[in-house]
Amino acid sequence: MRRMTARPANAHQARLLKLLRDGGANSRAQLGDQVDLSRSKLAVEVDRLLETGLIVADGLAASRGGRRSHNIRLAPNLRFLGVDIGATSVDVAVTNAELEILGHLNQPMDVREGPVAVFEQVLSMAAKLRASGLAEGFDGAGIGVPGPVRFPEGVPVAPPIMPGWDGFPVREALSQELGCPVMVDNDVNLMAMGEMHAGVARSVGDFLCVKIGTGIGCGIVAGGEVHRGVTGSAGDIGHIQAVPDGRPCACGNRGCLEAHFSGAALARDAVEAVEQGRSEELAARRTANGGLTAADVAAAAAAGDPTALDLIREGGNRTGQVIAGLVSFFNPGLVVIGGGVTGLGHTLLAAIRTQVYRQSLPLATGNLPIVLGELGPTAGVIGAARLISDHLFSPA
């Protein structure tokens, strides 16, 4: 089953592979422009990579006024699997070595059913993608899970919303099943890596990536590297106190951000509003769908329902207050908002921006874009593919 037999033998080769992956170059000459190596040394390393099969030279590019260059690219048959496990659904995608998505499946799922059931589903989705001819096998897989991960071992630790996953050897188990190397990380970190690789955060070294879905979390990128913290729980901002003596939270405290704003909280607030007779629009949707979700609130807001807009604005304000504190603390160059609730769009963004620009110091906000993520639901799987690709494209 294992397909990718070789790994780069040194830092030069790793650098070259990443340049090819990230579209920085596609010929020997272009590679030479970006790495500080003599042409001779470059030729040696390229030849060695060609021998390993990690890259291929096929065809000639058009001339630019002189001898035509060989097209150098990553092996076209390399395939990475990106898996993004959420609280209530799972994304599985196949990418090529350039991390372009070749196929993507999304299915509803419940993490609470535990790792065994979830992985059964993930594996069948992967099999389906493979059966459709997108891949003969996988050279590596990246997995995102909605909770803290002991990163070096790839094991979730004390995940609040994933009972039954605590200590489960995700990396090892999936590596066995898939027959390829696997890396595991928090889903929010992967979203950040996705946006850094192919989204709005391209070429930004220090940024925050706030993911608002069923829960709420924050990917932290410092100096181009994801900051995971000493126990892998960095970015867990859902339980920062947003409202003194506020709503009770599942964690036992009161006033946690997540208790006041998240997909779950929003749905609950919408139901409450309906029961208090504050919104006909939402009431109608509740009757039609037999319940309310964050998406319903988004739709109602889009339809102009003032109560829905109020709910979103208030949540955005709460979130914005917390983010304002983080901006003062971390001084990022960009804040990305993503996750399931991005459907709430500009109402949400406006509320967040207002709070951040008002509460943080001018020096920190002066040139600070706060934007929605560009990749939407694919950020996670792209980040996952990036994670394993970074690993495999590093010297063994």
Cα(75)–Cα(78) distance, integer angstroms: 6
CA 214 vs CA 259, 294, 306: distances in Å: 11, 9, 23
318 binds a second copy (CB under 8 A): no
Q: Which does 235 bind (CB under 5 to 8 A by kind): a second copy, DNA, none?
A: a second copy
Q: State which of residues 148, 199, 315, 316 lies at the interface with a second copy (CB under 8 A).
A: 148
288 binds a second copy (CB under 8 A): no
Which pair of structure tokens corresponds to residue 319? 């979130």
* Site string (6-35) toward DNA, x via CB under 7 A: ----x-x--------------xxx------
* Rounded least distance, CB 384 to a second copy, Å: 21
206 binds a second copy (CB under 8 A): yes
66 binds DNA (CB under 7 A): yes
* Residue (28 or 171) nearer to DNA, CB: 28
Q: Which does 293 bind (CB under 5 to 8 A by kind): DNA, a second copy, none?
A: none
Please work out the total of residues on this chain that contact DNA, with binding judged by CB under 7 A.
23
Q: State which of residues 29, 240, 295, 371 lies at the interface with a second copy (CB under 8 A).
A: 240
Cα(319)–Cα(323) distance, integer angstroms: 6
Which range in 49-57, 229-237, 278-286, 386-394 contacts a second copy by CB under 8 A? 229-237
163 binds a second copy (CB under 8 A): no
Cβ neighbours of 354 (radius 10 Å): 15
Cβ neighbours of 40 (radius 10 Å): 7
Cα(196)–Cα(224) distance, integer angstroms: 8
* Rounded least distance, CB 388 to a second copy, Å: 22
Sign of the CA dihedral running 121, 122, 128, 130: negative
For the chain, the maximum distance between any two Cα atoms, rounded to a whole number of angstroms, is 76
Cα(275)–Cα(54) distance, integer angstroms: 61
250 binds a second copy (CB under 8 A): no
Query: Do residues 176 and 70 make contact, with C-beta atoms less than 8 angstroms apart?
Result: no
Query: Do residues 296 and 279 make contact, with C-beta atoms less than 8 angstroms apart?
Result: no
Task: Give the list of residues 6+ apart from residue 347 with CB closer than 8 angstroms, or none.
Answer: 301, 309, 312, 313, 316
Please work out the total of residues on this chain that contact a second copy, with binding judged by CB under 8 A.
48
112 binds DNA (CB under 7 A): no
2 binds DNA (CB under 7 A): no
Buried b / exposed e along 239-250 (16+ C-beta atoms within 10 A): bbbbeeebbebe
Residue 209: strand, helix, or coil: strand
Which pair of structure tokens corresponds to residue 20? 């090819």
Q: State which of residues 364, 376, 390, 391 lies at the interface with a second copy (CB under 8 A).
A: 364
**How many Cα atoms within 13 Å fall on the side-chain side of residue 212?**
34
* Rounded least distance, CB 18 to DNA, Å: 17
* Rounded least distance, CB 22 to DNA, Å: 19
Cα(366)–Cα(104) distance, integer angstroms: 39
69 binds DNA (CB under 7 A): yes
202 binds DNA (CB under 7 A): no
Q: State which of residues 222, 289, 291, 303 lies at the interface with a second copy (CB under 8 A).
A: 222
83 binds a second copy (CB under 8 A): no
* Residue (65 or 252) nearer to a second copy, CB: 252
Closest by CA to 307, choosing from 285, 346, 340, 274, is 274
Which range in 19-27, 265-273, 296-304, 317-325 contacts a second copy by CB under 8 A? 317-325
Cα(107)–Cα(103) distance, integer angstroms: 14
* Rounded least distance, CB 47 to DNA, Å: 7
Cα(244)–Cα(322) distance, integer angstroms: 13
* Rounded least distance, CB 223 to DNA, Å: 24
Interface with DNA by CB under 7 A: which residues?
A: 10, 12, 27-29, 36-41, 43, 46-47, 60, 63-70
> Which residues make up the interface to a second copy (CB under 8 A)?
148, 157-158, 160, 205-206, 218, 220, 222-223, 225, 227-237, 239-241, 244, 251, 253, 321-322, 324-326, 328-333, 358-364, 366-367
